[in-house]
Amino acid sequence: MSSCDYDSSCLPDLLPLYYRRLFPFSQYYRWLSYGGVTKNYFQNREFSFTLKDDIYVRYQSFSNQSELEKEMQKMNPYKIDIGAVYSHRPSQHNTVKSGTFQALEKELVFDIDMTDYDDVRTCCSAADICSSCWTLMTIAVRILDRALREDFGFQHLLWVYSGRRGIHCWVCDEAARKLSVAGRSAVAEYLSLVKGGEETLKKVQLSDPLHPFIRESLAVVEHYFIQYALMGQDILGNSKTTDKVLNLWYSLTMLVLHVREDLQSFFQSEKNPVKRWKKISGLVQQQRVTSRKGCQYIDKEIMLQYCYPRLDVNVSKGVNHLLKSPFSVHPKTGRISVPIDLEELDKFDPFAVPTISLICEELDKPRTGEEEEVVEEEKKENEIEAAERRKIRDYKRTSLAKYVKLFDRFLDGMARARKGEILRKSDLQKEF
Amino acid sequence: MQFSRRRRLVSQPQDGLYGHCLQFYGRPPAENISLAEFETFAFERLKLLKTVENLGVSYVKTSDQYTKKLYSEFSNLNFPHKAEADDKKEQTEYEKRRKDHISHFILRLAYCQTEDLRRWFIQQEMDLFRFRFSGLTSKSKTEFLHQNNLQYDTVSMEQKKALVDKLVSSSYAVSGATVMEQDFYKVPFQDALDLVRTRKVFLKGGYAYIPHQDIIAIVLNDFRTRLSKALALTARSLPAVQSDERLQPLLSHLSHAYVGQDYSIQKNVGKISLEQIDPLSTKSFPLCMRQLHKSLRENHHLRHGGRMQYGLFLKGIGLSLEQALQFWRSEFIKGKVDADKFDKAYAYSVRHMFGKEGKRTDYTPYSCMKVILSNPPSQGDYHGCPFRHSDPELLKQKLQSYKLSPSAINQILELVKGMHYQLACQKYFELTHNIEDSGFSLNHPNQYFMESQKVLGDGKDVKREPETPHREAAASKGLGASRQNAEEMEDLDALFQDD
């Protein structure tokens, strides 16, 4: 669909259309109200907008859906961030006594950004992504989603494509929203295996016994490793990348010389990366048997260093940290930040995510005959109601529809759980 | 003598009050004490907590050395340690426990006032409690739990059977056989964060399965929760206490004692020109700042953690806000950031650092402890402590490139291996400045800089730090305290020269 190529200079023209006719306000409001259980949960939530020319406005807050709609349609933000639920309305944060305005709750969030994998990607760097390295994001979702559900018992996880080069996770369970800063950082650290900055070569260090969480994570990595790292990224393909891999091993211990020589001569004759890897892990196994503490898991550590999710811990830690909102537009790519369907995770293609240009164009396409009829009928109906309906139908005519549906499904799941919880509580109290 | 409403309560018979050598500090003391005793108790507990802090940085908290050193400090200061109070010494043991009790509550008064103080106090008290609890015999632990009504849900036999493999591989000290023998407790993971963080516990469905020997984790969590609530309450009733003019100065004295020199004094503003930074970075910057400076020059960019650590350091050595803006802008615009973007996205944070934006806090440069312990560097980061956060191999190469002799490098690497990062840095200082014994103990990058300037005699250009008593105070804070000047700390007043 070349006609829908996104051009960032068109953004000022497209945004008003997007916020007027396409942005799923009612679902959005439904999400952040969480069933209206806690008073002022939506009203005390911070939003922050990035406007044209990088003008950044923090501490926006809205009393209800229509105020949110009106403000967004008025300001047409380039980017929307969601912050914490505060003790007071964020828009009035200057009017309360300093020290009393505090961030109370927020979803537990995770931010995984492809730039953090630059030292282990051979295909792209910085903000660029391709279908090969996107596998890293797939692996990240698989590992984190399992752990957050099975280990931590969370159920309501919203995975979202950030619009450019990464993914976000919003854990929306009540327990997650109420987590303290210490709790958030403990969860994030539990989930972090790759550690160290530019001054650390070997960033994964395993020790005996392997924690069940590490075993589970390894199983995921092993599933993708050959296809992704060995074939796709070809990390054992040329001598430069091969050396990088082997250095992780060599730097650790003075390998017995004959092992090194053995490896070198093998690599000279064998070019097949899978066989090369088999050789490496075979040698590690051997070493494991003949003692040597500290490098018994080196093959696993290499796999993890190349594939394991790299979290930005600081984003997860802070209750008041802002994160780009779902359904916000990414100003650089024009892509909408859409929820990811975990059932179709392996098929998720970031390049197929609709851009604002695409969906706005889809709006202009002539309606089908059937729709035309409905429009005729509608004219007789109440004007306001019709406008409301038209808006719902609007997004349904675009590629955004399936993502909004996904969002709806997520919200239904939360509503069901809330209902179940209320029933359970009243059963406990024997109130019928 | 009466000090506050609390102490004005009827003095009760104290028998049975201290039934265990360890306390949960549930009830405040209700007796009257003399002002002198009040002061002594407070000072001695503070001294104990400072030892706890110092040892915590120098040693692994479970190591033998840590235990030994802390234990000797305990007996020096007459705090209760051993569970078995032998009958002959019952009276002195009672005195010790009483002191433990009362001194804890006095420091609560002094350390409830700000978030920072509370955090410090809670941290040290927790370390202290952990140390004492783990020294108890298993019988004595059970008694303690019983006396303080601490009960936790145990995991049934069937459940244990089903999970045996996972339980074994989640904890270092549990084997297949012992799983069935010992109790496991099931608590929400939020109550065992320290075990969760380090992945030393099995997690399932939001619950942590804790073997009996790790029960300290949950007890400690309880301790933390209670103490932090209590401090919040104490803070509210503080005005009443502070109205007593005998206590007010003492309490504020006490609470100032922990901070040490913060190197935020702005006397030396504008004493450094931007051209000086390059030569200074190789001569007088500690390794962490040299590394940041180098990567800033090379990449024309630093990520947030690096900007904070380096920016505040530069502020500490005397860059003015205008200079700082110029410095960062001129470097960033050589990279991918244009001047416009810099002004929009980065200038704010520079002004913020100088207290000109947001909360208007005038941020202080990071101490070694902060650099070592908080916000470890991740991908793309150059901040942190090179002695702590580098691969030993890379550190070695770096030291080689700085022309250190092999034997010098070995000395440094030995210290790194023993996790004495600040001592390693100090050794690096001594080696590069050609002095035998630097005569200070290093705990702050800005201290490194000032000491270096002093040695190099360039002091005219930058502000020279006069030999004030707070140098001693700073010295007693750092790693060196664990070496030999623990004894020199006798002069407690040295602790209070900071304000």
3-state secondary structure labels for all residues of A315-381: HHHCCCCCEECCCCECCCCCEECCECCHHHHHHCCHHHCCEHHHHHHHHHCCCCHHHHHHHHHHHHC
Judgement on whether residues B102 and B163 belong to the same structural domain of the protein: no
CATH number, domain of B110, equals 1.20.930.80
* Residue contact A201–B393, C-beta within 8 A: yes
Query: Under an 8 A CB cutoff, do B382 and A195 touch?
Result: no
Q: Angle at CA B170, nearest 5°, toward B164 and B174?
A: 65
B380 with A185: Cβ contact below 8 A: no
Cβ-based neighbour number of residue B314 at 10 Å: 24
> What's the pTM value of the predicted model, to 2 decimals?
0.81
Q: Is residue B102 part of a domain?
A: yes
Whether A155 and chain B come into contact, CB under 8 Å, resolves to: no
pLDDT of residue A372: 54
Residue A301 CA, distance from chain mean position: 24
Nearest 5 degrees, angle CA B143-CA B148-CA B153?
85
Domain count across chain B:
3
Residue B309 lies in a domain: yes
Q: Which contacts of B431-437 are long-range, i.e. CB under 8 A and separated by 24 or more positions?
A: B431/B404, B432/B402, B432/B404
**Per-residue model confidence as pLDDT tens digits over B318-339:** 899 999 999 999 999 998 888 8
- B268 part of a folded domain: no
Q: Which of residues 356-385 of B touch A (CB under 8 A)?
A: 359, 375-384
Residue B189 touches partner A, C-beta closer than 8 Å: yes
Q: Does B309 touch chain A (CB under 8 A)?
A: no
Shared domain check, B378 and B312: yes
Q: Is residue B8 part of a domain?
A: yes
Question: Which contacts of A393-397 are long-range, i.e. CB under 8 A and separated by 24 or more positions?
Answer: A394/A21, A394/A22, A394/A363, A395/A21, A395/A22, A395/A24, A395/A359, A397/A362, A397/A363, A397/A365, A397/A367, A397/A371
Q: Are residues B383 and B424 in the same domain?
A: yes
Q: Does A383 touch chain B (CB under 8 A)?
A: no
Residues B203 and B340 in one domain: no
Token digits for A131? 């279908």
Catalytic residue, from A46, A299, A362, A394: name it. Answer: A46
Tokens 């047409």 — which residue? A76
Exposed/middle/buried for A265, CB within 10 Å: 0-12, 13-18, 19+?
Answer: exposed
The verdict on B398 and B463 lying in the same domain is yes
Report residue A60: phi and psi, to 5°: -90, 145
Q: pLDDT per residue over B261-290, tens digit each?
A: 667 655 667 778 899 999 999 999 999 999
**Of the listed A69, A81, A107, A111, which one is catalytic?**
A111
The one-letter amino acid at B398: K
Q: Are A106 and A322 in contact (CB under 8 A)?
A: no
Task: Give dist(CA B184, CA B168) in Å, integer.
Answer: 12
Q: Are residues B235 and B98 in the same domain?
A: yes
Please tell me which residue of chain A has the smallest CA distance to B346: A54
Residues B237 and B377 in one domain: no
Q: How many CA atoms lie within 13 A of A143 on its CB side?
A: 32
| pLDDT tens per residue across span B290-318 | 999 999 999 999 999 999 999 999 999 98
- Is B312 among the domain residues? yes
Tokens in use for B445? Answer: 């990058």
A46 is catalytic: yes
ipTM reported for the complex, 2 dp: 0.90
> Residue range B154-174: average pLDDT?
87
Is the same domain home to B294 and B400?
yes
**Is the domain of B68 the same as that of B151?**
no
pLDDT at B195: 92
Q: Residue B263: inside a domain, yes or no? A: no
Q: What is the pLDDT of residues B181-236, one digit of tens each?
A: 888 999 999 999 989 999 999 999 999 999 988 888 899 999 999 999 999 999 88
pLDDT for the residue numbered B490? 34
pLDDT at res. B8: 39
- Mark out the alpha helices in A179-272 (DSSP H runs): 181-190, 212-225, 239-250, 257-269
- Residue (of B43, B69, B45) closest to B56 by Cα position: B69
The yes-or-no verdict on residue B372 having pLDDT over 60 is: yes
Asked whether residue B385 is marked as a ligand-binding residue, the answer is yes
Chain B residues with CB inside 8 Å of A196's CB?
Answer: 376-378, 389, 391
| Chain A: closest CA distance from residue B78 (Å) | 34
Helix, strand, coil fractions of chain B, as percent rounded to 5:
60, 5, 35
Residues of B in contact with A119 (CB under 8 A): 379
Distance CA A427, CA A235 (A): 58
Residue B259 lies in a domain: no
Distance, C-alpha A26 to centroid of its chain: 22
Q: In this structure, is residue B363 part of a structural domain?
A: yes
pLDDT tens, residue by residue, B30-71: 888 898 899 899 989 988 998 888 787 667 777 788 888 888
Residues B214 and B224 in one domain: no
Q: Tokens 């969601």 — which residue? A: A82
Q: What is the pLDDT of residue A250?
A: 75
- Domain co-membership, B233 together with B357: no
Angstrom distance (rounded) from CA B496 to CA A92? 41
Q: What percent of chain B has pLDDT over 90?
A: 35
Give me the domain span that covers residue B488: 274-495
- Whether residues B227 and B303 share a domain: the answer is no
Helix (H) or strand (E) holding A157: strand A157-161
> Measured between CB atoms, which of B170, B206, B393 is closest to A211?
B170
Please confirm, yes or no, whether A81 is among the known catalytic residues.
no
Over its length of 432 residues, how does chain A's per-residue pLDDT go in tens digits?
444 588 888 999 999 999 999 999 999 999 999 999 889 999 999 999 999 888 899 999 999 999 999 999 999 999 999 999 999 999 999 888 877 899 999 999 999 999 999 999 999 988 899 999 999 999 999 999 999 999 999 999 999 999 999 999 999 999 999 999 999 999 999 999 999 888 888 899 898 889 999 999 999 999 999 999 999 999 998 888 998 998 888 766 655 677 788 888 898 888 899 999 999 898 888 877 665 556 688 899 999 999 999 999 999 999 999 999 999 999 999 999 999 999 999 999 999 999 999 999 998 877 665 555 555 555 555 666 666 666 667 888 899 999 999 999 999 999 999 999 888 888 887 655
C-alpha–C-alpha distance, residues B404 and B181, integer Å: 56
Taking contacts as CB-CB distances below 8 angstroms, the residues of chain A near B193 are: 182-183, 186
Per DSSP, the three-state class of B123 is helix
